[in-house]
């Protein structure tokens, strides 16, 4: 069987808040939640589970590939909400998007401090 990505747990300071944030930007489906997990679903049957771990956690990086129309909608939400965002992961180009790798991209922080990247073209 070919391997397929199925799910991941994203550490959160507030699981419901993080699920709403990702669900809004990624236009994700709400999924049944259980135990400590608040779950949403994105394309390809991938489930994102948000939970508050019992320990402090370091920031992670999560990148999502969006089509151009979805990127436009997500970027409009980012700007209308006044969210800080950058064209680069070093955060030296605030308030911009990039046009690298034949597409567009933007970086921002999620409510738990994770680095979120939205791109319209894969790197490879």
How far is CA 15 from its chain centroid? 14
Q: Would you place residue 28 in the very low, low, confident or very high pLDDT band (cuts 50, 70, 90)?
A: very high
How far is CA 81 from its chain centroid? 16
Note the pLDDT of residue 86.
98
User: What's the pTM value of the predicted model, to 2 decimals?
Assistant: 0.95
Is the pLDDT score of 1 beyond 90? no
Render pLDDT for 42-76 as a digit per residue (tens, 0 to 9).
Answer: 999 999 999 999 999 999 999 999 999 999 999 99
Is the pLDDT score of 114 beyond 80? yes
The SS3 of residue 50 is: strand
Percent above pLDDT 70 for the chain = 100
Cα separation, 81 vs 97, whole angstroms: 16
Q: Would you place residue 93 in the very low, low, confident or very high pLDDT band (cuts 50, 70, 90)?
A: very high
Note the pLDDT of residue 2.
92
């Amino acid at each position: 069987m070919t391997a397929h990505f199925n799910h991941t747990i994203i550490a959160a300071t507030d699981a419901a808040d993080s699920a709403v944030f990702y669900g809004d930007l990624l236009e994700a489906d709400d999924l049944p939640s259980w135990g400590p997990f608040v779950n949403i679903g994105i394309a390809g049957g991938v489930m994102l589970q948000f939970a508050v771990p019992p320990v402090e956690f370091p920031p992670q990086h999560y990148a999502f590939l969006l089509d151009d129309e979805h990127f436009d909608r997500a970027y409009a939400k980012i700007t209308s909400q006044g969210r800080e965002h950058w064209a680069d992961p070093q955060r030296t180009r605030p308030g911009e998007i990039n046009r690298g790798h034949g597409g567009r991209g933007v970086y921002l922080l999620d409510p738990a401090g994770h680095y979120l990247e939205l791109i319209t073209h894969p790197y490879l």
